[in-house]
Amino acid sequence: MFDTSFSFYTVCVHCCHPLCSVLFLLTDQKTITAESGQKNVTLTCRAPNNNIISVEWSRDDLGDEYVLLYRNNKMDPENQHPSFENRVNLQDTKMKDGDVSLILNNVTINDTGTYKCGVIQEERGGLKLINTTYVHVVPPGE
């Protein structure tokens, strides 16, 4: 795995004219390049504190299905996309120090995409986007 990480931040832009208002989310994005057939890849994500009650990893192109949902101290497979069944897990299910990183096993070309990590914390309520990671999967040997 080659970690070609970089960060960029988008900003909120507003101006006085009603046709000139654009809103972007503040996010931190990382890019990871992996080889198809690679045993596993870790998508890092760290929430601000330990009061996490739910973790969701998603990808926009999956619609209503998700990569991983962890709540009530266990994995919730109800709406998990079939391609991720038995291939994903949290690095630390105890989420020590806010670590909600995703382990993706048996990497395939179809795993290429932008992954979003979000958490629900006791004091906040709604899902909070922590970061996004673009995974670029290349054929072996490239």
pLDDT tens per residue, range 80-127: 999 999 999 999 999 999 999 999 999 999 999 999 999 998 877 789
Taking the model in full, what pTM does it have?
0.79
The ranges assigned to domains in the chain are: 2-138
* pLDDT value for 141: 81
Alpha-carbon Rg for the chain in angstroms? 16
pLDDT over 50 (residue 26): no
* pLDDT value for 102: 98
Which class does domain 2-138 fall in? mainly beta
* Token duo for residue 12: 């909120």
pLDDT over 80 (residue 142): no
Name the more confident of 55 and 7.
55
* CB atoms closer than 10 angstroms to residue 62: 15
Q: What is the DSSP string of the chain?
A: -EE---------B--SSTTS-B------EEEEEEETT-SEEEE--B-SSS-EEEEEEEEGGGTT-BSEEEETTEE--TTB-GGGTTTEEES-TT-GGGB-PEEEES--GGG-EEEEEEEEETTT-S-EEEEEEEEEEE-TT-
* pLDDT value for 35: 96
Which is nearest to 6 in space by CA: 136, 138, 133, 96? 133
* pLDDT value for 48: 84
* pLDDT value for 125: 77
The terminus-to-terminus CA distance of the chain in angstroms comes to 11
